[in-house]
A and B are shown apart, each in its own frame.
Chain A
Amino acid sequence: SQQGEEDPQALSIQEGENATMNCSYKTSINNLQWYRQNSGRGLVHLILIRSNEREKHSGRLRVTLDTSKKSSSLLITASRAADTASYFCATDANDRGSTLGRLYFGRGTQLTVWP
């Protein structure tokens, strides 16, 4: 059963703008991860944030985690056309709170960055 739900489903911006994607989930988690997928390709891991962390940075990426609201956000600063892809959040627990090591993905946010 899927747990994470991304918002918005689609986001269209100009190069240079910032892109913010949100993820909500239902139960306690150990960690939350963000992945990127170019059309028709495999997923690329972007960042993992653990439940005791509130914010992590990696290059132009900033991820926040609010366990009280059961939500996370992914911010891509100074976006580029090459950032065009689908972005997925994944949790390590299903909507019944069971953690088994596998990942539970949302449906993703399709980001389009126009040059």
Chain B
Amino acid sequence: DTGVSQDPRHKITKRGQNVTFRCDPISEHNRLYWYRQTLGQGPEFLTYFQNEAQLEKSRLLSDRFSAERPKGSFSTLEIQRTEQGDSAMYLCASSPGSGNEQFFGPGTRLTVL
């Protein structure tokens, strides 16, 4: 399977704990995006990378959130000191460049108790 993969698919954690999600994009895609989606809403942009450079961060991304893409390959999204409001589906997508379709992974569903 050469699509976008995300790990884990589900994560349940207690408030205050740290969590880390991983995204493996399609190998030849230089752009990687993170979105968050809550129930009944469309995905909301969090941040994106072109190769290893993080080019933009949404205001939704508080200082508890950090994302990396070392070597321009896979990416990780870490949430520190999780809050119940962080419960959502976290989606990763990749594309070969700007202005193209984005290919989404299956998402990581986070539940913060």
Contacts and interface: CB of A to CB of B under 8 A. Distances in A.
A42 B91 contact: yes
Nearest to A105: B42
Interface in A18-47: 30-31, 33, 35, 40-45
- Contact-residue bracket for chain A: 20 to 34
B106 A42 contact: yes
Q: Is the interface of A mostly helix, strand, loop or mixed?
A: strand
Contacts of B93: 43
Interface string B5-48: 01000000000000000000000000101000000111111001
A22 to B, nearest CB: 15
Nearest to B91: A42
A108 B42 contact: yes
A75 interface: no
B99 A92 contact: yes
Nearest to B41: A107
Interface of B: 4, 6, 31, 33, 40-45, 48, 55-56, 89, 91, 93, 98-107, 109
Interface of A: 2, 4, 30-31, 33, 35, 40-45, 48, 88, 90, 92, 100-108
